[in-house]
Chains A and B, each alone.
Chain A
Amino acid sequence: MAIVEIKDLTKKYGSLVAVDNISLTIVEGEIFGLLGPNGAGKTTLINILTGLVKVDKGTIKAFGQDIGKNGDDVKRQIGLVPQDLAIYEDLTCLENVSFFAGLYGLRGRLVKEKAMEALDFVGLSEKAGQAPKKFSGGMKRRLNIACALAHSPRLIIMDEPTVGIDPQSRKHILNSVKTLNSRGCTVIYTTHYMEEAEDLCDRIGIMDHGKIIAMGSSNELKSLVTDQSTLIVNLSSPLERVNIDGLKEIKGVVDIWSDENTISISSSRDINNLDKIISYFSSNDIHIAGLESKSPNLETVFLTLTGRKLRD
């Protein structure tokens, strides 16, 4: 069952097209990842979904209802974990979660019960009476998540929830997302970490310049580039000495990207050109420090589709 249906969605800020004619369906019970570099339009799309930003064109339905017409009904079933921490540092953890839960219609004893449940879920029940002022970044992120959970939403939208935190908190958050999903929650998860998207998401939409340029499961996306293999060459000589056009003339080479002292060469799988590539470097007196053959991953997919790295 479709929980979110987006059709021909466009949002412009002046001449900048932040979301460009996107159509997308998210199915109940899945973890849907939105993967893309900073500025790709992920947060704008999330803001439109949560009603924070008005659309210029297109329609969005959530839970079968038009977001614009049935705003409050839809909002009650969504929990947003914003990219920026959205917690009050002078309120205790319990007060923070209880306050936001109260806004979703929870009353009386139920508010405290649900707030404590949410804090327990993110591992902060022991800190319930403390204000987050002196918490670590990871603990604040966990509280940020708890504030979106207490009202038991059907759809949880997490906008880059692991930015700038320690590995332990990241692991905790990723496990929490899996647990929430196993309990029946649909999750929309935006990130620019391809490992997270690969690890968590049932389906991934790759965004760039406001458009979804590819969509599918991790394997489906990788299959887009399985007819190619990538050779990563680390050089000890200056990169300026490499004639990229010369390299492109080698049979089987599809594309080349360079970054600092590294050159990534994508070639057709059915043509073995490794010896020719190595001999090209040696004949031009360019010293190779290391070689690595890489099977396709989401980074490769993004690179192939856009010519840029995810973190560019």
Chain B
Amino acid sequence: MNILSIFKKECIHIIRDIKGNILMILFPIVLILILGTALSPLFDSGIDLGYIELVYTDEADPYLSSAYREFRQELSKEFGIEFIATDDAKEAISKIADGGQSSYIYLTDRQEIRLYKNERYAFEANLIEAMTRTFVEKYNLYKELATKVPDKLESAMAMEIPDLVAVKSLDGKRNIASMDYYAITMLTLILLYSASTSAHSVKREQLLKTGNRLLVSPVKKYEIFTGQVLGAISITVLQGLTVLAFSSFILNAYWGDKPHLVIMVIISEAVMAVSIGIGLSYVIKNVATLSGIINTIIPIMVLLGGGYVPFEVLGESIQKISVISPIRWTNQALFRLVYDQDTSYIFIAIAINLAIAAIFIIYASLAYRREDV
């Protein structure tokens, strides 16, 4: 019963702490929004081809000419390639030779498609060559069908034919948008800041001298300790779930299809962060020093865990060091779960979080038991 009283009181303190709630709820939401929007190019898997100009001459018969017109429209729409018609084939070819143009396509009146390209513009020229070859193969297929089995032409044209150039992720799995990325990393970041909240819960009792008042009442030290820890963990989990719900339903961040496992990881991280805060508050007596240390450790752990920029960007040496950050394991577990449906890392992350929590909680409880006024 005493544990429940202290638990309730602890919850009230944290809920009424406006600054703390801004930090734990509003701050991560704003960060997800800002980073998710500002750093979206970092996560964009599409290819920007830039401005490509293609000169052509069309002297082909109406069938080929019509097919080529459709092809041009498709490329303009899809890749923004600008097609410029010319009647002067000689001048166009000499421009290619001079390097003034990357490619020139000449559809002759003998139904030939000639491609002239300048290797100085290798990427552009090869891309246009690849697209043109695809067009030629497709046109020849339809032409053959029209000649030899005309009754099959219509059904063949109705078949879904793959895009000319398909951009696909090599792993074939869902791509991570910046909003998705920062929804996970900012949530795991902010959960760590509950270390600060819980450390200050302990210090509050010391500063307000209410700690002594608790100790003179017929309450056991373990009851005070348990009530405080459970209160801090519960509200931290609640704050984390609020951020998770907001990012999911309002910001449309992707959290995968196993929410119960995501929540388990969140709870384990909250337990770890609260325990670190409480543990440190018994190691470091000075409040300013305590705040300083917590506010230094958290960004380092988050940076090593890939919280600010994707883990892969950090470089090999930092990636090696990052194993010391529990956030690295937590983030990795969540990304694997959400995007690869891989649950194997979940239990590693939870085990690491709870092991760290156990160390700090055991230390804090022993220190509290020994503590004299």
Contacts and interface: CB of A to CB of B under 8 A. Distances in A.
B218 A88 contact: no
B84 to A, nearest CB: 72
A107 B5 CA distance: 10
B212 to A, nearest CB: 6
Contacts of A91: 9, 12-13
A104 B209 CA distance: 18
B2 interface: yes
B210 A75 contact: no
Contacts of B373: 47, 52-53
A147 B216 CA distance: 12
Interface residues of B, number: 21
Contacts of A76: 218
B208 to A, nearest CB: 6
A103 B210 contact: no
Contact of B217 (A73, A82, A100): A100
A85 B209 contact: yes
Interface in B355-373: 372-373
B85 interface: no
A258 to B, nearest CB: 38
A51 B209 contact: no
Given A102-B5, A103-B2, A51 B216 contact: yes
Interface string B194-225: 00000000000000111011111111000000
Contacts of A99: 5, 9
B227 to A, nearest CB: 10
B212 A86 contact: yes
A88 B372 contact: no
Contacts of B210: 86-88
Given A54-B372, A103-B5, A75 B209 contact: no
Contacts, number: 68
B201 to A, nearest CB: 11
Contacts of B215: 51-52
B112 interface: no
A95 B12 contact: yes
A85 B216 CA distance: 15
Contacts of A75: 216-218
B47 interface: no
Contacts of B209: 82, 84-86
B174 interface: no
A100 B224 CA distance: 12
Nearest to A111: B5
Interface in A275-310: none
A11 to B, nearest CB: 11
B119 interface: no
A103 B218 contact: yes
B17 interface: yes
B217 A104 contact: yes
A85 B372 contact: no
Interface string A242-265: 000000000000000000000000
Interface in B1-20: 1-2, 5, 9, 12-13, 16-17
Nearest to A89: B208
A82 B212 contact: yes
Interface string A92-108: 00010001101111010
A279 B17 CA distance: 71
A76 B218 CA distance: 6
A86 B210 CA distance: 4
A107 B208 contact: no
Given A47-B373, A54-B372, A102-B5, A87 B208 contact: yes
Given A82-B213, A86-B209, A103 B219 contact: yes
Given A90-B13, A103-B2, A52 B212 contact: yes
Interface string A48-92: 001111100000000000000001110110101010111111110
Nearest to A44: B373
Given A87-B208, A95-B12, A107-B1, A80 B213 contact: yes
A31 to B, nearest CB: 20
B13 A104 contact: no
A90 B17 contact: yes
Nearest to B12: A91
A90 B21 CA distance: 14
B148 to A, nearest CB: 87
Interface centre among A71, A72, A88 (most CB of B within 10 A): A88
B218 A86 contact: no
B119 to A, nearest CB: 74
A84 B373 CA distance: 13
Contacts of B217: 75, 100, 103-104
Contacts of B17: 90
Nearest to A79: B216
Nearest to B213: A86
Given A47-B212, A91-B12, 8 more contacts: A47-B373, A54-B372, A82-B212, A82-B213, A86-B209, A87-B208, A88-B210, A90-B16
Which 3 A/B pairs are nearest by Cβ-Cβ distance?
A72-B218, A103-B217, A86-B213
27 contacts: A51-B216, A52-B215, A52-B373, A53-B372, A54-B372, A72-B218, A73-B218, A75-B218, A76-B218, A78-B216, A80-B213, A80-B216, A84-B209, A85-B208, A85-B209, A86-B212, A86-B213, A88-B9, A88-B210, A90-B13, A90-B16, A90-B17, A91-B13, A99-B9, A103-B214, A104-B217, A104-B218
